[in-house]
Amino acid sequence: MPMRKVMKGNEAAAWAAKLARPKVVAAFPITPSTLVPEKISEFVANGEMDAEFIKVESEHSAISACVGASAAGVRTFTATASQGLALMHEILFIAAGMRLPIVMAIGNRALSAPINIWNDWQDTISERDTGWLQFYAENNQEALDLILIAFKVAEDERVLLPAMVGFDAFILTHTVEPVEIPDQEVVDEFLGEYVPKHAYLDPARPITQGSLGFPAHYMEARYKVWEAMENAREVIKEVFDEFEKKFGRRYHMIEEYRTDDAEIILLTMGSLAGTLKEFVDKKREEGVKIGAAKMTVYRPFPIEELKALAKKTKVLAILEKDVSFGIGGAVFTDASRVLVNEKEKPILLDFIVGLGGRDVTFGQLEEVVEISKKALEGEKVEEVHWIGLRKEIL
Amino acid sequence: MAVRKPPITTREYWAPGHAACAGCGPAIVMKLATKAFSEAMEEKYGDPNAFAIAHATGCMEVVSAVFPYTAWKAPWVHVAFENAAAVASGIEAAWKKLGRKGKILAIGGDGGTADIGLQALSGMLERRHNVVYLMYDNEAYMNTGIQRSSSTPYGAWTTTSPPGKYSIGEDKPKKWVALIAAAHQVPYVATASIGDPYDFYRKMKKAASVDGPAFVQVLAPCVPGWRIPPEKTIEVAKLAIETGLWPLFEIENGDFHNIKFQRFPKDGKFKRPIEDYLKLQGRFKHLFKRPEAIQELKNQIKELWRILGKEVELP
């Protein structure tokens, strides 16, 4: 029987790692994810988890050790956040290019400067082009579930790409919630043992991995990563279906909430989705035709799902905790690409919110709705807005 | 004294067809190191193939693994420039869980080891992974076209340490990574030179045989980088030993009080002058107009020997 325990998001991630039975875990402590390696150390120390835990001297070595272990053919896990993820940056491309299905939990945290340990998504968003699958959890249960899902998708032979699962710093990493821990047997059945056919450092059948690719081959290798990411769309949906059958919880590329007759839809990722759902309920009571949507999968980008969502609304307001300086938020720019050639499309607005752990309040959401309403009524509004700025200290 | 020559296995892991320069010192290192490793694995585990290689970015990686070809007859992986030791740590951990017997060989040049890879190397040694780290020292960034590294010797010309009106060439003493490695009190640390291939072979075998981490720093001349003719590689590497410029030693468990030396003259007097070594190489040509720089190099080498516990005379 699945067990329900009240736990922090970090513990949920560690539990997911335990259930997935990786053979190697390599990690370096970083706020807010420190508890993940701590908890895994405990599991290993108590003999509850049969993994080699490498206490590396940096995140760069954490991911490098994971690449080594994965290249040697075993299931591999790590966790980090923010500067730690940034320090891994170089190797993230290599892990994807070498097609190693490493899974990484990330307590989404802001990047320096100024140094800030609190939540936004700039860390993972900055790694969006590395070739890693990206999932964002709304709550601690999702953090656990999505890590299991990430392993399954990453290891699928049609995909073979590494995956990162983000859950918001402190809002989830340090907040306790009831989490259902699935039975080990069911997880074993769901994931199976990882047996690589392309990456193994076996003296009985020596292969060379991580070659030099001349111009004659490099582009094709990169195309294969593109193709794998494209394949992942279908694989993720299949895995979501299977996950629902095995564990009873349903996931969607984009989860919709009261969108059916909406004129304004607020689209976001991560824990902010929970806030938006409540806010939508409140606005519906006031008679505002508003809905919410949550992007669970950011890479591959849910193109068809976003098109379908866009058809339902007149204003698509994207709320995101990241910024690409000089253009706008990442989700906004991606969504713009998806909708650019659609004949009918909603007005697309970008709201940059909650950077570095600033609370996203109902007051701020009212502001989002006010701007969206103006756009709806035909008034010209800016496309990118910073919401919740303390103008008095600028 | 006759040098006892151990037999060298005929097994090959470094296949013909790699793209290294004629006379390449590091290529000889690859060949000998893997042979020695294989012999150690055979003796220790009964399987000569019981090893895998993690390679740092650099000359030897580039010339040996141009897709779709490979010069490697052993399981081999390259990830990046600075992380061969960390990658090897991961492989070792995976092998432990797979119950696979054997040892991991990490290979990096001086740039990938003395400079950008030093932290990962330290981590690997400190965590006591069952890995041999082999640093092939050609004393500059040869892969990118001869830029100085922290392992470039005093006085050497490189493209980023050019001699000029205000410069004698490289103006810092060489960093001796073997001593840094030994400070980790790991089971085995050694220096070697392809100028004494039997000594190098024996040391690689020993490194592969110990339980836990080992580090070997081997001098491997680079033909274009040192400005030497291809047929002089071994001669130059030999002269490095004979002039006292390249100490051959072993340090076990970080015991600096019991360093074992090889090819050390009993009276501490090296017979051949350092100039014999320098004059064969274009990279030191300019020093002969600056005798004070040669003297400074000699002083540095004497100081190195003193730190190692030996008073030496350099003619």
Nearest Cβ partner for B67 among A65, A73, A212: A212
Question: What residues of A are in contact with residue B55 (Cβ under 8 Å)?
Answer: 210
What pLDDT digit, counting tens, does each position of B168-177 carry? Answer: 999 999 999 9
Nearest Cβ partner for B77 among A62, A209, A212: A209
Mutation site for A-interface testing, chosen from B44, B57, B79, B126 by largest number of A Cβ within 10 Å: B79
In chain B, the residue whose alpha carbon lies closest to the alpha carbon of A216 is B67
In three-state form (DSSP H/G/I as H, E/B as E, the rest C), the secondary structure along A126-161 is CCCCCCCEEEECCCHHHHHHHHHHHHHHHHCCCCCC
Per-residue confidence (pLDDT) for residue B239, from 0 to 100 = 98
**Chain A nearest CA to B192, separation (Å):** 27
Q: Does A103 touch chain B (CB under 8 A)?
A: no
What pLDDT digit, counting tens, does each position of B73-111 carry? Answer: 999 999 999 999 999 999 999 999 999 999 999 999 999
- Distance, C-alpha A210 to centroid of its chain: 26
Question: What residues of B are in contact with residue A56 (Cβ under 8 Å)?
Answer: 86, 89, 123, 127
Neighbours of A23 (CB within 10 A): 23
Question: What residues of B are in contact with residue A55 (Cβ under 8 Å)?
Answer: 127
* Closest alpha carbon to A60 in B87, B292, B105: B87
**Mean of pLDDT over chain B:** 97
Q: What angle do CA A211, A216, A220 make, to 5 degrees?
A: 75
Per-residue confidence (pLDDT) for residue A278, from 0 to 100 = 98
- In chain A, the largest separation of any two C-alpha atoms, in whole Å, equals 70
Q: Does A325 touch chain B (CB under 8 A)?
A: no
What's the pLDDT band for B289 if we cut at 50, 70, 90? very high
What residues contact A89, with CB distance under 8 A and at least 6 apart? A126, A127, A130
Q: Does A198 touch chain B (CB under 8 A)?
A: no
**Chain B nearest CA to A210, separation (Å):** 5
The pair of structure tokens assigned to A208 is 């060379």
Chain A, chain B: beta-carbon pairs less than 8 Å apart? 163
Mutation site for A-interface testing, chosen from B12, B66, B77 by largest number of A Cβ within 10 Å: B77
Name the A residues in 7-66 with CB < 8 Å from any B CB: 23-24, 26, 50-52, 54-58, 60-62, 64-66
How large is the average pLDDT for residues A332-358?
98
Mutation site for A-interface testing, chosen from B87, B103, B126 by largest number of A Cβ within 10 Å: B87
User: Are the beta carbons of B218 and B136 closer than 8 angstroms?
Assistant: yes
Q: Do B75 and A202 touch (CB under 8 A)?
A: yes
What pLDDT digit, counting tens, does each position of A77-105 carry? Answer: 999 999 999 999 999 999 999 999 999 99
Residue A59, burial from CB neighbour count under 10 angstroms (0-12, 13-18, 19+):
buried
pLDDT beyond 90 at B4: no
What pLDDT digit, counting tens, does each position of A219-276 carry? Answer: 999 999 999 999 999 999 999 999 999 999 999 999 999 999 999 999 999 999 999 9
ipTM of the complex: 0.97
User: Are the beta carbons of B51 and B38 closer than 8 angstroms?
Assistant: yes
**Chain B nearest CA to A220, separation (Å):** 12
Which strand (E) or helix (H) includes residue A24?
strand A24-27
**Chain A nearest CA to B148, separation (Å):** 24
**Chain A nearest CA to B65, separation (Å):** 5
pLDDT beyond 60 at B1: no
**Chain B nearest CA to A218, separation (Å):** 9
What's the pLDDT band for B6 if we cut at 50, 70, 90? low
User: What gap in Å lies between CA A171 and CA B210, rounded to an integer?
Assistant: 49
Contacts by A116-119, CB closer than 8 A, 24 or more apart: A116/A356, A116/A357, A117/A31, A117/A32, A117/A82, A117/A169, A117/A170, A117/A357, A118/A169, A118/A170, A118/A356, A118/A357, A118/A358, A119/A168, A119/A169, A119/A170, A119/A171, A119/A271, A119/A321, A119/A354, A119/A356, A119/A357
% of chain A residues with pLDDT over 70: 100
What's the pLDDT band for A136 if we cut at 50, 70, 90? very high
Q: Does A67 touch chain B (CB under 8 A)?
A: yes
Q: Do B86 and A73 touch (CB under 8 A)?
A: no
Position B204, amino acid: M
Residue A377, burial from CB neighbour count under 10 angstroms (0-12, 13-18, 19+):
exposed
**Chain A nearest CA to B121, separation (Å):** 10
How large is the average pLDDT for residues B137-143?
97
Residue whose structure tokens are 């909430």: A257
- Whole-model pTM above 0.95? yes
Q: Do B89 and A68 touch (CB under 8 A)?
A: yes
Question: What residues of A are in contact with residue B61 (Cβ under 8 Å)?
Answer: 212
Q: How many CA atoms lie within 13 A of A294 on its CB side?
A: 22
How large is the average pLDDT for residues B241-260?
98
Per-residue confidence (pLDDT) for residue B7, from 0 to 100 = 78
**Chain B nearest CA to A347, separation (Å):** 45
Mutation site for B-interface testing, chosen from A55, A56, A57 by largest number of B Cβ within 10 Å: A57
pLDDT beyond 70 at B155: yes
What stretches of chain B adopt beta strand conformation (E)?
51-55, 76-78, 103-109, 131-137, 163-164, 167-168, 188-193, 214-219, 248-251, 260-262
pLDDT beyond 80 at B2: no
DSSP A272-338: HHHHHHHHHHHHHHTT--EEEEEESEEES--HHHHHHHHHT-SEEEEEES--BTTTB-HHHHHHHHH
**Chain B nearest CA to A25, separation (Å):** 9
Question: What residues of B are in contact with residue A193 (Cβ under 8 Å)?
Answer: none
User: Are the beta carbons of A348 and A316 closer than 8 angstroms?
Assistant: yes
Q: Do A206 and B94 touch (CB under 8 A)?
A: no
Per-residue confidence (pLDDT) for residue B54, from 0 to 100 = 98
Question: What residues of A are in contact with residue B51 (Cβ under 8 Å)?
Answer: 203
Nearest Cβ partner for A65 among B73, B89, B122: B89
What pLDDT digit, counting tens, does each position of B257-277 carry? Answer: 999 999 999 999 999 999 999
What's the pLDDT band for A362 if we cut at 50, 70, 90? very high
Per-residue confidence (pLDDT) for residue A1, from 0 to 100 = 85
What pLDDT digit, counting tens, does each position of A46-75 carry? Answer: 999 999 999 999 999 999 999 999 999 999
